[in-house]
Structure 1
Amino acid sequence: MGKDFFLGKYLIDKGLIMEEDVVDALEIQRRESPAFEKVSLELGLLNMKQIFQLLTFQADSDLTFAEVALRKKYLTQEQVVRVNNLIIDTRPFLGKILVSAGNITHEKLYEVIGSFESETEKYLDLAESLKKVKIFELLDENALESLAYIALTEKYDTGETVLKEGDEADEFFCIVSGSLKITKNTHDTEGGSCYVGSIQANDVFGESCIFDRGRRTANVITETETVLIKFKRTAFINFLKYYPKSSISILIFMVQRLMGRLERSDRELACEKKRGISQSEIDAVLEEFFS
């Protein structure tokens, strides 16, 4: 995915090129992009001896060079991101490859490139916002930009309900700005609710839908004017398939969040049991939590 991928899709949608033209051009672009180890050497992040050692380690694994460099602590995550961004900046332009292959004329390409750029400008701003969100903080610029293409921005006034307990869970949210509160229905005759907690900017909520498309287990209501970025479950899963390396850090974040919630729930249940809550009541709470 990424900007070049979406340029190709844009040209296909306009009826100017074929899908196989884009596939071939992306393969040429991949071959002509500078190698990770070469860029690391040019930046002075690695020397030839280190590169040789890492290539030796890589030969005995199914990892990429960058992954081996990270595991052996030859490079930091920030340095890997820096190298990958430089590779993206220096790789050949997809449009130029399509022109060279005779898939589209130079004149026709630049006739439509202006409208494409104006349409995609908003995605660059979205990518900047996503960079600040905890779950995406380790992603490189290419992955962030691809995420932006499948994101939707929504604005809410104070006191608006974003999610309702019991609704179908098929999307999750990142908080760009604002504050929201989480409540649970009390199921009493008055139809009340109890306060659970608050979530702030650069956090996420509703992300468990990626694992299980069930029902919402709480309400989420804005406490202030709020700007959210929304991802549909299906589109986000497709992103994870295209970016398996980025998906590792995202899924680890989600699992850690889930484990933290389980730990807090265990402590709360233990406290309730000490106060005399019955086993049947505990079982009911657990059933609700895992449903």
Structure 2
Amino acid sequence: MYLKQGDLFWGMDKNFVKEVMDISTKVSLEEKQTVFKEGDSADSFYVLVKGRLQLTLGEKSREVYVAYQPGEIVGWSSLTGRETMTATAQCLENTTLQQIERKKFHEILDRYPTEGSALFQRVAQMLGNRLVSLYPSIA
């Protein structure tokens, strides 16, 4: 799975995407393994390659979202300036992710301001869409 195939990186400069791919690490996890927990340091975000992830919030682990589409992003906290993760991500089946470290990613963004601006507009749109999809579950 190339990052360029996901919505976040679609149509971006090929050198920008290559640099991001170069700093990404493939992570393979088994069903029921935890990717990150609410309160963990938000030092990376993840691009779903294959599998399904359940995102939960709070002490009672209330399910708020299931990521299942290749290219979906989890661990948004690292992209939005938060220091800790706001949810827990657990694998619902064997799952493959691309892990991207925040610090290295921001160094690349500094060299590609146009892509950085477009990327954060997409992040805002994706987060908005995810929030809208949650309205029925909290209403």
**TM-score bracket for the superposition, by shorter chain length:** 0.7 to 0.9
Q: Percent identity?
A: 27
> What is the rounded CA distance, in whole Å, between the counterparts of 1:208 and 1:168 in structure 2?
9
TM-score by length of 1: 0.44
Correspondence for 2:27:
154
- In the alignment, which residue of structure 2 is the partner of 1:215? 84
- The alpha carbon displacement at 1:264 in A equals 6.1
Task: Name structure 2 gaps, 5 residues minimum.
Answer: none
Distance 1:226 1:263, change over 3 A: closer
CA separation in 2, counterparts of 1:157 and 1:171? Answer: 19
Match of 1:165 among 32, 38, 58: 38
Q: Which residue of 1 aligns with 2:118?
A: 249
In the other structure, the counterpart of 1:132 is 5
Deviation digits for residues 114-143 of structure 1 (CA, Å, limit 9, x no counterpart)? xxxxxxxxxxxxxx5212111001213222
Q: Structure 2 matches for 1:8-23, cutoff 5 A?
A: none
**Contact 1:208-1:254 at 8 Å conserved across structures:** no
What do residues 129-187 of structure 1 show as CA deviations (whole Å, max 9, x unaligned)? Answer: 212111001213222111111111111011100010111111100011111111123x3
Distance in 2, Cα, partners of 1:235 & 1:219 = 23
Cα displacement (A) at 1:266: 7.4
Q: What TM-score do the two structures reach when normalised by structure 2?
A: 0.86
Pick 1 or 2: higher relative contact order, CA cutoff 8 A, min separation 6: 2
Match of 2:61 in 1: 193
Larger CA Rg, structure 1 vs 2:
1
Aligned amino acid, residue 197 of structure 1: Y
Deviations 1:189-219 (A, max 9, x none): xxx4222221012211112322213221211
Look up the match of 1:175. 48
- 2: CA distance, partners of 1:165 / 1:249: 28
C-alpha RMSD over aligned residues: 2.1
Counterpart Cα distance in 2 of 1:261 and 1:197: 8
**8 Å CA contact retained: 2:77, 2:86:** no
Note the alpha carbon deviations across 1:55-113, whole angstroms, 9 max, x for none.
xxxxxxxxxxxxxxxxxxxxxxxxxxxxxxxxxxxxxxxxxxxxxxxxxxxxxxxxxxx
- Name the CA shift for 1:159/1:211 in 2 (closer, same or farther; >3 Å): same
Q: Secondary structure at 2:124's aligned position in 1?
A: helix
Residue 103 of structure 2 aligns with an amino acid whose one-letter code is T
Partner of 1:13: none
Correspondence list, 1:50-199, <5 A: 129-185=2-58, 187=59, 192-199=60-67
Q: Which runs of 5+ in 1 are unaligned?
A: 1-127, 272-291
| Whole-angstrom distance in 1 between the partners of 2:33 and 2:39 | 17
Distance 1:177 1:241 in 2: 29
Candidates 202, 212, 223, aligned match of 2:71: 202
Q: 1:226 to 1:232 in 2, by over 3 A?
A: same
Contact 1:172 1:233 in 2 (8 A): yes
**Shift in alpha-carbon separation, 1:211–1:194, aligned structure 2, 3 A:** closer
